[in-house]
């Protein structure tokens, strides 16, 4: 699920669950699998490396696997 102006619902739920925990890890929000498209192992690898190379989550949604 996605609402413009907010990140994906899963990232929001994880952030809410961790918000009162000291030293919680950063939560990155990625949106993929739109229109019933498969979320392939290649897309998951791409998301992993994007998160690994980014020190802090970006405020905007990161869309992965879109057709141009």
Token pair in block for residue 33: 């699998």
Confidence (pLDDT) at 22? 92
Does the CA dihedral 1-43-54-25 come out positive or negative? positive
Whether the full predicted model's pTM is greater than 0.75, yes or no, is no
Token pair in block for residue 1: 């699920």
The per-residue pLDDT for range 16-37, each reduced to its tens digit, is 999 999 998 888 888 888 888 8
pLDDT band at residue 49 under the 50/70/90 scheme:
very high
């Amino acid at each position: 699920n996605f609402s413009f102006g907010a990140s994906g619902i899963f990232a929001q739920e994880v952030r809410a669950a961790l918000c009162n925990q000291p030293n919680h890890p950063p939560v990155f929000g990625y949106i993929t699998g739109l229109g019933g498209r498969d979320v392939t192992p290649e897309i998951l690898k791409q998301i992993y490396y994007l998160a690994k190379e980014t020190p802090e989550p970006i405020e905007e949604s990161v869309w992965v696997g879109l057709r141009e």
